[in-house]
Amino acid sequence: MQFTPALQPATLVQRYKRFLADVVTPEGVALTLHCPNTGAMTGCATPGDTVWYSTSLNIKRKYPHTWEITQTAGGEYICVNTLRANQLVKEAISLDLIPELRGYNSLKTEVKYGAENSRIDFLLQAEDQPECYIEVKSVTLADRDNGYFPDAVTLRGQKHLRELISVAAEGKRAVLFFAVLHSAIGKFSPARHIDPKYAQLLNEAQKQGVEVFAYKAELSADNMTLRSSLPIVL
């Protein structure tokens, strides 16, 4: 995924009201950015870090600038725009970059499914294969090289796990895909210390046939691509 037009840098002053952030450009101009991330953003929003932002050409937007990437003082890159995770996974599937998800000729998005009124991120279909339901999660919480999800208690995430367990029980493929968007992360685990119920459900889901993948993105201020599978420790 190429950022076009190119992202612009600024220095983070503060994130507030969850969806807003104040920054200062290298020229000294103060801006308020839209922050498309509902999570705690632990370690991703330290004042003084470099923020890379995009600018929308839509003149109707109150906040035309969007926070895309954090570059930490230690030089790590973190994609904080959670909408990018689905875009990266869709691109990777379309380019056959995910070996486990090859062989399908139809990709649908936001398809209604399940008993709890959910929408699956991606539904893959092919005549000679069972349908494949894929739920995508963005991973940005890091402790050294350990990546964790979630970064806050997630009732919605727990619901998605229950739905995927039901899909697997019907004989279809159920996939939980963790898109790791932090350059320091080298392995992935559920955040048992933050949401023990989610970690328990994830373990149960895998035992009942839900496939769990974690793929890490190559990140820079210019582009992002899902490249490498990471080890998962449940």
Domain layout of the chain by residue ranges: 8-79, 83-229
- Return the percentage of the chain with pLDDT > 90, whole number: 97
Q: Mean pLDDT over residues 191-209, rounded?
A: 98
Q: Using the 8-state DSSP alphabet, how is residue 2 labeled?
A: B
pLDDT 10s digits, 36-45: 998 899 999 9
pLDDT 10s digits, 142-151: 999 999 999 9
Q: How far apart are CA 97 and CA 163, in angstroms?
A: 26
pLDDT 10s digits, 107-162: 999 999 999 999 999 999 999 999 999 999 999 999 999 999 999 999 999 999 99
Q: How far apart are CA 234 and CA 227, in angstroms?
A: 22
Q: Mean pLDDT over residues 174-188, rounded?
A: 98
* Confidence category of residue 211, pLDDT binned at 50, 70, 90: very high
Domain 8-79 has CATH 2.60.40.1180: no
Domain 83-229 has CATH 3.10.129.10: no
Q: How far apart are CA 199 and CA 233, in angstroms?
A: 11
Q: Is the pLDDT of residue 21 over 90?
A: yes
Q: What is the mean pLDDT of the chain?
A: 96
- Residue from 96, 185, 98 nearest 136 by CA: 98
Predicted local distance difference test score (pLDDT) of residue 39 = 87
pTM: 0.95
Q: How far apart are CA 108 and CA 122, in angstroms?
A: 6
